[in-house]
Amino acid sequence: MRAVTVSDGEIVVAQRADPKPGAGEVLVKVRAAGLNGADMMQRRGLYPAPPGSPADIPGLELAGEVAELGERSERFALGARVMGIVGGGGQAELAVVHERQLMPVPERLSWEQAGGLPEVFTTAHDALFTQAQLRSGERLLVHGAAGGVGLAAIQLARAAGASVVATVRNRALRAEVASIGAEAIAVDGFERNGPFDVILELVGAPNFDANMKALAERGRICVIGVGAGGKAELNLLALMGKRARIHGSTLRSRALEEKALAARLLEREVLPLIASGQVSVHVSASYPLQEAGAAYERFAAGGKLGKIVLTM
C-alpha cells in the first residue's frame, strides 16, 4: 500500500506492507483521512505514536470501506462505510482499526466530510459534554474557532442550547464563523465579553491570564490545544475565588475502552444531528494522497476554515 510517512521531519509518500486485522479488528480501505494538529507535532518529533500504532505513518482519523474482517469481528459487514479515530496510520490506503472504534458513515456525508469528522467531533463532544458538562443556557467561549474542532464545538454547543462566543484571529474568517452560530470576535480583549461558564482552549498559554478574568463563578476551562505555548502562570487565588475547574485532555493515548465509549456517545448524540443536517462538517480543502506534502504545508500556513483532508 501507499502511505504518508514522516522521514527526518519531511512528509514522503512511500510503499509499506499491507496491514492485517487481528481479533476484533477490521481492515479499512481508506477513502479519506483528515489532518490534525497532532500530525503536525508528530512531524516535528514532538508527539510520537502510542504503542501498537504505526510509528512513522501519521493520521488520527479516517473513513473508508470494510475490506477484511479479523477473527471475531462482527459489528460491520464487508463493504460497509465506516469512520473512526485511530492512534496513527490513518493516512494510508489501508488501515487496521478495532471495530469498536468505528462508526457508520451517514448517507449524506461525502468521503471528504467523513474523513474529517471523527477526530474533531469526538474531541469537541468529549471536551464540552463529558468533561466540562456544558448545559443549555450556559455561555461558551471557543478559542481558535476557525479550525475543525472549533467549528464542531460551536455547532454542538448551539444544538445543546448554549450560546457561543468565538475568537478568530483571521478577520476575513469571522463572518463565516458567525454564520455557523457564534459571535465571532478578535482575540485581543476577549475577556471583556465574559463571563463564560465554559472556555474551550485550543490555542494555549497566551490566553490563560485573560481566561481567568473572563471565567464565571464555578466556570470550567478545558485545555485541548497548546500550539501557541504550553506553559502559563496561574493565579491560584483567582481559581479558588471563582471555585473554578481547569482540566486537560487528549484522545490519542486513551485505552480502547475509553475510545469505544466516546465513539458510542458520538453515534448516539452527534450522528443524528449530522444525518438531519443540523450539524455539518466543514472541509476547507482536499488533496490526493500523492500531494500529502502540499496538504501539510497548507495546514501549517493557517488561515483555513475547517478541515484539510487527504483523499485516496
Are residues 234 and 208 in contact, defined by beta-carbon separation less than 8 angstroms?
Answer: yes
Q: pLDDT tens per residue, the chain (312 residues)?
A: 999 999 889 999 999 999 999 999 999 999 999 999 999 999 999 889 999 899 999 999 999 999 999 999 999 999 999 999 999 999 999 999 999 999 999 999 999 999 999 999 999 999 999 999 999 999 999 999 999 999 999 999 999 999 999 999 999 999 999 999 999 999 999 999 999 999 999 998 899 999 999 999 999 999 998 888 889 898 999 999 999 999 998 888 899 999 999 999 999 999 999 999 999 999 999 999 999 999 999 999 988 999 999 999
Q: Is-same-fold flag (2-117+281-311; 120-248)?
A: yes
Distance of CA 130 to the CA centre of its chain: 15
C-alpha 257, offset from chain centre? 19
Q: What is the pLDDT of residue 229?
A: 85
Pairwise CA distance, residues 295 & 134, whole Å:
34
Q: What superfamily does domain 2-117+281-311 belong to in CATH?
A: Medium-chain alcohol dehydrogenases, catalytic domain (3.90.180.10)
Predicted TM-score (pTM) of the model is: 0.94
- Spell out the domain ranges in the chain: 2-117+281-311, 120-248
pLDDT at 179: 95
Predicted local distance difference test score (pLDDT) of residue 301: 92
Distance (Å) of CA 142 to CA 94, 98, 169, 175 = 35, 32, 12, 15
d(CA 252, CA 41): 13
Q: Which fold has domain 120-248?
A: Quinone Oxidoreductase; Chain A, domain 1 (3.90.180)
**Pairing state between β 196-201 and 2-7:** unpaired
Residue 230: its pLDDT value, please? 87
Gap between the terminal Cα atoms of the chain: 11
Residues noted as catalytic: 47
Where in the chain does DSSP place strands (E)? 2-7, 10-15, 25-34, 61-69, 81-85, 94-98, 102-104, 139-142, 163-167, 183-185, 196-201, 215-223, 245-248, 283-288, 307-311
Residue 220, burial from CB neighbour count under 10 angstroms (0-12, 13-18, 19+) = buried
Cα–Cα dist 180/164, whole Å: 10
* Nearest CA among 303, 20, 310, 17 for reference residue 169: 303
Q: What is the pLDDT of residue 303?
A: 87
Burial class (CB in 10 A: 0-12, 13-18, 19+), 62: buried
Q: CA dist 62 to 25, 33, 91, 192, Å?
A: 15, 4, 7, 39
